[in-house]
Amino acid sequence: MRNARVFISCGQRNEREKNIGFAVEDYFDKKGFKTYFAERVHSPDALTENIFKFLRQSEYFVFIDFKREKINETDFRGSLFVNQEIGIATFLGLEGIGFHEDGTKREGILDYHMYKPFPFTDINDIIKVLDKEINNQWDVNSVKELEMIYRPEGITKTAKLSNLMDQPFSDWYHLEIKNRDKKRHAFSCTGYVTKLIDLNNNVNIRIPTNELIWAGIGDINVNIIANTTRDLDAFFIIHNESQIRFNQRPFLTTNPKYSIPNLQRGKYLLEYTIISSNFEKVSKTFFLQFSGSVKDIIFKEENQT
Protein backbone atom coordinates (compact mmCIF):
# COMPACT_ATOMS: atom_id res chain seq x y z
CA MET A 1 0.00 0.00 0.00
CA ARG A 2 1.25 3.44 -0.85
CA ASN A 3 1.32 6.54 1.36
CA ALA A 4 -0.35 9.85 0.56
CA ARG A 5 1.20 11.88 -2.25
CA VAL A 6 2.16 15.57 -2.13
CA PHE A 7 2.44 17.49 -5.40
CA ILE A 8 4.99 20.32 -5.09
CA SER A 9 4.53 23.16 -7.56
CA CYS A 10 7.58 25.39 -7.42
CA GLY A 11 9.49 27.80 -9.63
CA GLN A 12 12.75 26.44 -11.03
CA ARG A 13 14.28 29.41 -12.82
CA ASN A 14 17.54 29.28 -10.83
CA GLU A 15 19.38 27.20 -8.25
CA ARG A 16 17.85 29.10 -5.32
CA GLU A 17 14.33 28.27 -6.45
CA LYS A 18 15.21 24.63 -7.15
CA ASN A 19 16.90 24.24 -3.77
CA ILE A 20 13.83 25.59 -1.96
CA GLY A 21 11.69 23.09 -3.87
CA PHE A 22 14.04 20.23 -3.00
CA ALA A 23 14.02 21.27 0.67
CA VAL A 24 10.21 21.13 0.76
CA GLU A 25 10.34 17.76 -0.98
CA ASP A 26 12.79 16.48 1.64
CA TYR A 27 10.53 17.81 4.42
CA PHE A 28 7.61 15.68 3.26
CA ASP A 29 9.78 12.67 2.38
CA LYS A 30 10.99 12.52 5.98
CA LYS A 31 7.37 12.48 7.19
CA GLY A 32 6.65 9.44 5.04
CA PHE A 33 4.74 11.13 2.20
CA LYS A 34 5.33 10.31 -1.43
CA THR A 35 6.31 13.46 -3.29
CA TYR A 36 6.32 14.74 -6.84
CA PHE A 37 8.43 17.84 -7.49
CA ALA A 38 6.83 19.06 -10.71
CA GLU A 39 9.30 19.48 -13.56
CA ARG A 40 8.61 22.27 -16.01
CA VAL A 41 6.97 21.12 -19.22
CA HIS A 42 6.72 23.01 -22.47
CA SER A 43 4.14 21.18 -24.62
CA PRO A 44 0.48 20.14 -24.32
CA ASP A 45 1.46 16.45 -24.49
CA ALA A 46 4.01 16.81 -21.71
CA LEU A 47 1.48 18.75 -19.62
CA THR A 48 -1.04 15.93 -20.00
CA GLU A 49 1.43 13.10 -19.40
CA ASN A 50 3.15 14.69 -16.41
CA ILE A 51 1.35 17.50 -14.61
CA PHE A 52 -2.26 16.34 -15.10
CA LYS A 53 -1.35 12.76 -14.30
CA PHE A 54 0.53 13.44 -11.07
CA LEU A 55 -1.90 16.08 -9.81
CA ARG A 56 -4.79 13.67 -10.37
CA GLN A 57 -2.92 10.99 -8.38
CA SER A 58 -2.05 13.29 -5.45
CA GLU A 59 -3.87 13.89 -2.17
CA TYR A 60 -2.15 17.17 -1.23
CA PHE A 61 -0.78 20.19 -3.07
CA VAL A 62 1.94 22.73 -2.17
CA PHE A 63 2.74 25.73 -4.36
CA ILE A 64 5.66 28.13 -4.03
CA ASP A 65 5.30 31.25 -6.14
CA PHE A 66 8.45 33.29 -6.83
CA LYS A 67 8.77 36.83 -8.14
CA ARG A 68 8.90 37.22 -11.91
CA GLU A 69 8.43 40.35 -14.09
CA LYS A 70 8.16 43.71 -12.36
CA ILE A 71 4.71 45.32 -12.58
CA ASN A 72 5.39 48.57 -10.73
CA GLU A 73 7.77 49.95 -8.12
CA THR A 74 6.70 47.43 -5.45
CA ASP A 75 4.94 44.51 -7.15
CA PHE A 76 6.10 41.56 -9.25
CA ARG A 77 4.22 38.96 -11.26
CA GLY A 78 4.26 35.33 -10.12
CA SER A 79 5.15 32.19 -12.04
CA LEU A 80 2.94 31.29 -15.01
CA PHE A 81 3.59 27.56 -14.49
CA VAL A 82 2.67 27.68 -10.81
CA ASN A 83 -0.57 29.51 -11.64
CA GLN A 84 -1.46 26.84 -14.21
CA GLU A 85 -0.92 24.08 -11.66
CA ILE A 86 -2.95 25.99 -9.04
CA GLY A 87 -5.84 26.09 -11.53
CA ILE A 88 -5.70 22.31 -12.08
CA ALA A 89 -5.38 21.59 -8.35
CA THR A 90 -8.40 23.82 -7.68
CA PHE A 91 -10.45 21.94 -10.28
CA LEU A 92 -9.46 18.62 -8.69
CA GLY A 93 -10.31 19.88 -5.19
CA LEU A 94 -6.93 19.02 -3.69
CA GLU A 95 -6.21 20.02 -0.11
CA GLY A 96 -3.22 22.31 -0.09
CA ILE A 97 -1.14 25.19 1.13
CA GLY A 98 0.69 27.95 -0.73
CA PHE A 99 3.57 30.41 -0.40
CA HIS A 100 4.36 33.56 -2.31
CA GLU A 101 7.64 35.42 -2.22
CA ASP A 102 7.43 38.88 -0.66
CA GLY A 103 6.50 41.38 -3.35
CA THR A 104 4.59 38.91 -5.56
CA LYS A 105 1.21 40.33 -6.56
CA ARG A 106 -1.82 38.08 -6.16
CA GLU A 107 -3.70 38.18 -9.45
CA GLY A 108 -5.71 35.90 -11.72
CA ILE A 109 -6.93 32.77 -9.95
CA LEU A 110 -5.01 33.66 -6.79
CA ASP A 111 -7.49 36.49 -6.20
CA TYR A 112 -10.24 33.91 -5.78
CA HIS A 113 -8.32 30.86 -4.74
CA MET A 114 -9.23 28.73 -1.75
CA TYR A 115 -5.55 28.36 -0.79
CA LYS A 116 -4.45 31.30 1.34
CA PRO A 117 -0.78 31.74 0.44
CA PHE A 118 1.74 32.68 3.13
CA PRO A 119 4.50 35.21 2.39
CA PHE A 120 8.13 34.07 2.59
CA THR A 121 11.65 35.31 2.04
CA ASP A 122 13.56 32.03 2.43
CA ILE A 123 13.09 28.31 3.14
CA ASN A 124 13.05 28.82 6.91
CA ASP A 125 9.82 30.83 6.62
CA ILE A 126 8.23 27.99 4.62
CA ILE A 127 9.27 25.25 7.03
CA LYS A 128 7.92 27.19 10.02
CA VAL A 129 4.52 27.55 8.37
CA LEU A 130 4.45 23.89 7.32
CA ASP A 131 5.21 22.80 10.89
CA LYS A 132 2.36 24.94 12.20
CA GLU A 133 -0.30 24.49 9.50
CA ILE A 134 -0.05 20.89 8.31
CA ASN A 135 1.53 19.04 11.24
CA ASN A 136 -0.97 16.41 12.47
CA GLN A 137 -3.52 17.64 9.90
CA TRP A 138 -2.20 16.01 6.72
CA ASP A 139 -2.49 12.26 7.15
CA VAL A 140 0.12 10.11 5.44
CA ASN A 141 -2.29 7.17 5.56
CA SER A 142 -5.28 9.00 4.06
CA VAL A 143 -5.08 8.00 0.41
CA LYS A 144 -7.51 8.59 -2.43
CA GLU A 145 -7.52 4.92 -3.25
CA LEU A 146 -9.75 1.88 -3.05
CA GLU A 147 -8.19 -1.24 -1.55
CA MET A 148 -9.41 -4.76 -2.33
CA ILE A 149 -9.11 -7.29 0.52
CA TYR A 150 -10.16 -10.92 0.89
CA ARG A 151 -10.76 -12.22 4.41
CA PRO A 152 -11.51 -15.98 4.75
CA GLU A 153 -13.27 -15.32 8.05
CA GLY A 154 -15.74 -13.14 6.17
CA ILE A 155 -17.34 -16.00 4.19
CA THR A 156 -21.12 -16.11 4.62
CA LYS A 157 -21.86 -19.78 5.25
CA THR A 158 -25.08 -21.83 4.97
CA ALA A 159 -27.16 -18.91 3.73
CA LYS A 160 -30.64 -20.05 2.64
CA LEU A 161 -31.58 -19.01 -0.89
CA SER A 162 -35.20 -18.07 -0.36
CA ASN A 163 -35.68 -17.08 -4.02
CA LEU A 164 -35.30 -20.73 -5.14
CA MET A 165 -38.11 -23.23 -4.76
CA ASP A 166 -36.27 -25.71 -2.54
CA GLN A 167 -34.46 -22.92 -0.63
CA PRO A 168 -31.03 -24.61 -0.68
CA PHE A 169 -28.11 -23.56 1.51
CA SER A 170 -25.18 -21.68 -0.01
CA ASP A 171 -21.77 -20.24 0.85
CA TRP A 172 -20.83 -16.73 -0.29
CA TYR A 173 -17.29 -15.41 -0.77
CA HIS A 174 -16.86 -11.65 -0.51
CA LEU A 175 -14.24 -9.04 -1.38
CA GLU A 176 -13.94 -6.17 1.07
CA ILE A 177 -13.53 -2.86 -0.78
CA LYS A 178 -12.03 -0.22 1.51
CA ASN A 179 -11.98 3.52 0.92
CA ARG A 180 -8.55 4.51 2.28
CA ASP A 181 -9.31 8.22 2.05
CA LYS A 182 -10.41 9.61 5.42
CA LYS A 183 -12.16 12.66 3.95
CA ARG A 184 -13.34 11.91 0.40
CA HIS A 185 -16.22 9.60 -0.48
CA ALA A 186 -15.97 7.21 -3.43
CA PHE A 187 -18.99 7.52 -5.71
CA SER A 188 -20.63 5.10 -8.16
CA CYS A 189 -18.43 2.09 -7.41
CA THR A 190 -19.01 -0.93 -9.66
CA GLY A 191 -17.35 -4.35 -9.59
CA TYR A 192 -16.38 -6.67 -12.44
CA VAL A 193 -14.59 -9.90 -13.21
CA THR A 194 -12.14 -8.60 -15.83
CA LYS A 195 -10.07 -11.73 -16.43
CA LEU A 196 -10.73 -15.46 -16.04
CA ILE A 197 -8.04 -18.01 -16.84
CA ASP A 198 -8.52 -21.79 -16.75
CA LEU A 199 -5.12 -22.94 -15.46
CA ASN A 200 -5.76 -26.64 -16.10
CA ASN A 201 -6.27 -26.06 -19.82
CA ASN A 202 -4.26 -22.83 -20.12
CA VAL A 203 -7.28 -21.05 -21.60
CA ASN A 204 -8.23 -17.42 -21.20
CA ILE A 205 -12.01 -17.72 -20.87
CA ARG A 206 -14.02 -15.08 -22.67
CA ILE A 207 -16.23 -13.21 -20.23
CA PRO A 208 -18.74 -10.40 -20.81
CA THR A 209 -18.57 -6.99 -19.18
CA ASN A 210 -21.26 -7.72 -16.62
CA GLU A 211 -21.54 -6.02 -13.24
CA LEU A 212 -21.27 -7.97 -9.99
CA ILE A 213 -23.73 -7.47 -7.13
CA TRP A 214 -22.71 -5.76 -3.89
CA ALA A 215 -23.29 -7.97 -0.87
CA GLY A 216 -26.48 -7.57 1.10
CA ILE A 217 -28.14 -4.92 -1.07
CA GLY A 218 -28.73 -6.57 -4.43
CA ASP A 219 -27.42 -3.57 -6.37
CA ILE A 220 -24.58 -3.15 -8.88
CA ASN A 221 -23.64 0.39 -7.85
CA VAL A 222 -22.72 1.81 -4.43
CA ASN A 223 -21.03 4.78 -2.80
CA ILE A 224 -18.28 4.03 -0.29
CA ILE A 225 -18.13 6.63 2.47
CA ALA A 226 -14.70 7.94 3.50
CA ASN A 227 -12.74 5.51 5.68
CA THR A 228 -15.38 2.76 5.40
CA THR A 229 -15.79 -0.52 3.50
CA ARG A 230 -18.40 -2.31 1.39
CA ASP A 231 -18.48 -6.02 0.52
CA LEU A 232 -18.70 -7.24 -3.06
CA ASP A 233 -19.97 -10.75 -3.85
CA ALA A 234 -16.95 -12.48 -5.44
CA PHE A 235 -18.81 -15.77 -6.07
CA PHE A 236 -21.05 -18.30 -4.35
CA ILE A 237 -21.76 -22.05 -4.33
CA ILE A 238 -25.01 -23.89 -3.67
CA HIS A 239 -24.37 -26.81 -1.30
CA ASN A 240 -25.96 -29.51 -3.43
CA GLU A 241 -24.23 -28.37 -6.63
CA SER A 242 -20.72 -28.87 -8.01
CA GLN A 243 -20.19 -25.50 -9.68
CA ILE A 244 -19.17 -21.97 -8.75
CA ARG A 245 -21.65 -19.21 -9.58
CA PHE A 246 -21.32 -15.42 -9.83
CA ASN A 247 -23.89 -13.01 -8.39
CA GLN A 248 -24.17 -10.71 -11.39
CA ARG A 249 -26.59 -8.31 -13.00
CA PRO A 250 -29.46 -10.37 -14.45
CA PHE A 251 -30.21 -10.08 -18.16
CA LEU A 252 -33.49 -10.41 -19.99
CA THR A 253 -32.02 -13.12 -22.20
CA THR A 254 -30.94 -16.73 -21.88
CA ASN A 255 -28.04 -16.24 -24.27
CA PRO A 256 -24.97 -17.39 -22.29
CA LYS A 257 -22.64 -14.90 -24.00
CA TYR A 258 -23.99 -12.13 -21.74
CA SER A 259 -23.31 -13.84 -18.39
CA ILE A 260 -20.13 -14.77 -16.56
CA PRO A 261 -20.04 -18.57 -16.89
CA ASN A 262 -20.33 -20.97 -13.97
CA LEU A 263 -17.05 -22.68 -13.08
CA GLN A 264 -16.61 -26.44 -12.94
CA ARG A 265 -13.86 -28.36 -11.13
CA GLY A 266 -10.44 -26.91 -11.80
CA LYS A 267 -7.90 -24.22 -11.03
CA TYR A 268 -8.44 -20.63 -12.10
CA LEU A 269 -7.05 -17.12 -11.95
CA LEU A 270 -9.68 -14.42 -11.55
CA GLU A 271 -9.02 -10.69 -11.85
CA TYR A 272 -11.55 -8.44 -10.12
CA THR A 273 -11.76 -4.72 -10.90
CA ILE A 274 -13.58 -1.88 -9.15
CA ILE A 275 -14.25 1.35 -11.02
CA SER A 276 -15.49 4.60 -9.50
CA SER A 277 -16.57 7.97 -10.86
CA ASN A 278 -13.98 9.84 -8.79
CA PHE A 279 -11.31 7.30 -7.71
CA GLU A 280 -8.75 5.45 -9.80
CA LYS A 281 -9.73 1.90 -10.71
CA VAL A 282 -8.32 -0.93 -8.60
CA SER A 283 -7.66 -4.49 -9.80
CA LYS A 284 -6.39 -7.61 -8.07
CA THR A 285 -5.90 -11.22 -9.16
CA PHE A 286 -6.95 -14.23 -7.09
CA PHE A 287 -6.29 -17.97 -7.31
CA LEU A 288 -9.28 -20.31 -7.11
CA GLN A 289 -9.09 -24.07 -6.76
CA PHE A 290 -12.38 -25.93 -6.87
CA SER A 291 -12.62 -29.69 -6.41
CA GLY A 292 -16.35 -30.02 -6.80
CA SER A 293 -17.93 -29.44 -3.39
CA VAL A 294 -18.60 -26.67 -0.92
CA LYS A 295 -15.82 -28.04 1.30
CA ASP A 296 -13.25 -28.15 -1.49
CA ILE A 297 -12.59 -24.50 -2.29
CA ILE A 298 -9.27 -22.67 -2.00
CA PHE A 299 -9.50 -18.94 -2.69
CA LYS A 300 -6.60 -16.55 -2.06
CA GLU A 301 -4.63 -13.69 -3.57
CA GLU A 302 -2.35 -14.77 -6.40
CA ASN A 303 1.11 -15.79 -5.16
CA GLN A 304 -0.07 -15.67 -1.56
CA THR A 305 1.42 -18.51 0.49
232 in Cβ contact with 300 (< 8 Å)? no
- pLDDT value for 29: 95
pLDDT score at 49: 64
Q: What is the pLDDT of residue 80?
A: 64
- Give residue 6's identity as a one-letter amino acid code: V
Residues 181-212 as b or e (16 or more Cβ within 10 Å = b): beebbbeebbbbbbbbbeeeeeeeeebeebeb
Q: Which residues contact 82 (CB under 8 A, 6 or more apart)?
A: 9, 10, 11, 63, 64, 65, 66
- Structural domain boundaries of the chain? 5-133, 146-301
pTM to 2 decimal places: 0.83
What pLDDT, on the 0 to 100 scale, is given for residue 51?
77
Q: What is the pLDDT of residue 58?
A: 92
Rounded to the nearest 10 degrees, how much is the dihedral formed by the CA atoms of 64, 115, 140, 39? -30
Report pLDDT for 305. 56
Q: What HEC string does 103-157 produce? A: CECCCHHHHCCCCCEEEECCHHHHHHHHHHHCCCCCCCCCCCCEEEECCHHHCEE
CATH code 2.40.50 for 146-301: no
CATH class of the region 5-133: alpha beta
Task: Kindly list the averaged pLDDT for each block of 10 residues, start to end, along the chain of length 305.
Answer: 90 87 95 83 56 86 82 66 78 88 66 71 94 89 95 94 83 98 95 97 94 95 97 96 94 80 97 96 97 94 77
CA–CA distance, 162 with 221 (Å, rounded to integer)? 23
| pLDDT score of 154 | 93
- pLDDT, residue 76, reads 66
For residue 255, what pLDDT is reported?
A: 78
Nearest C-alpha neighbor of 24 from the set 41, 40, 49, 6: 6
